[in-house]
A and B are shown apart, each in its own frame.
Chain A
Amino acid sequence: MELARKWVQLVIALLTNGYWGFPVTRTIYQGPLKVVCSPGLNCYSCPAATTYCPLGALQQLMLGIRFNLENAQYYLGWYVLGCIGVVGAFLGRLVCGWACPFGFVQELLHKIPSRKFSVPRPLRFIKYGMLLFFIFLLPLFVVNDFGMGNPWFCKYVCPAGTLEAGLPLLWLQPDLRSTVGLLFYNKVVILVFFVGWSVVASRPFCRVGCPLGAFYALFSRARMVKLSLDPAKCTKCEACHHVCPMGVKFNESPDDAECITCLACMDRACKFDAISLTVGGIPIRSGEVRKPAVNKTL
């Protein structure tokens, strides 16, 4: 199943970045598919991006609300919120585990041999602050004389944007290099920080800084597809604790907001059939392999 997940991650990353004419056109894709929402974090200024980034689009709508309302345009972000809400209500953070290109990049980085460290659990609350302030409040309320705000998360933080859009665009359009300043260097430092952290810790950006992950995490109890625990079968052996890439102790908190439904606990750890994948509460699959639990430091 782990191999299947990797293939799904690769295919989705290629589908959401499927415009390979950019080395010739030297600009971004401008076709009709850009009205489709990317389920994961995928910058729409990436030259290969074929879909829009929900966080980028949401900030653009938030920062222009006053201006739009003054011009009788009622763009309140419902379309984008509806798109990610439908995805979140159906899959929740399964998207992080299976469909986010930046999550995939972090997983690949974590395969680089090195000493591995855990991510302190309290840091997970930072991403909810990022969602509230950088995606909604700051773009909405910090505005200029014309009533326009800034896309705070994209502009000051997003490492996916730097990796997928900033650096490739500087390569494709040499004229832009003269405009690079402190703002860009700040973003490069953030990217380098998370790249380095990803090598030594599992998915640090997903756990600490991703506002999209925070949004999907709000559906942890209400999502359609999720892992469920059968307490009658659980022996509390804690094997599921050791395989989780997000540091979730599944048998202690089966509705944990950090669970990305990668199925590692179900397939690689639980020998007692206590964990199953459910859709709307109906179990559709339980562990496939009965082998000894893996001991791994995360």
Chain B
Amino acid sequence: MRKKKPLRKLPFIVLMFFLILFLAGVISGEPSRVLEQSWQICLSCIGIG
């Protein structure tokens, strides 16, 4: 009979950790800051200017 593979727990723990980090970022209002940055062309960032 084929042995049933156990479910790995580590990926779920790591996933939960980063999900909490993501939510903490959302609560602190980072998405609006990211949006603000990504709407601008940062010329020095791409080596121009």
Task: Give the contact stretch, choosing among A7-15, A81-89, A95-103, A121-129.
Answer: A81-89
8 closest residue pairs by CB, A with B: A82-B22, A79-B25, A85-B18, A78-B25, A79-B30, A281-B8, A82-B21, A224-B11
Question: Which chain B residues lie closer than 8 Å to A43 at the CB level?
Answer: 46
Complex-state Cα separation, A89 to B15, whole angstroms: 5
Residues of chain A with a CB closer than 8 A to B20's CB: 82
Residue of A44, A86, A176, A282 touching B38 (CB-CB under 8 A): A44
Number of interface residues of B (CB under 8 A): 39
Inter-chain contact A75/B33, CB cutoff 8 Å: yes
Total A-B pairs in contact (CB under 8 Å)?
A: 157
8 Å CB contact of B41 from A28, A89, A162: A28
A79 engages B18 (CB within 8 Å)? no
Beta-carbon contacts under 8 Å, A197-232 to B: 219, 221-224
By a CB distance below 8 angstroms, the chain A residues around B23 are 82
- Interface on chain B toward A: helix, strand, loop, or mixed SS? helix
Interface members, chain B 8-22 (any A CB < 8 Å)? 8, 10-15, 17-22
B2 to chain A, nearest CB (A): 10
- Please name all residues of chain A whose beta carbon is closer than 8 Å to the beta carbon of B49 when the two chains form the complex: 176, 179
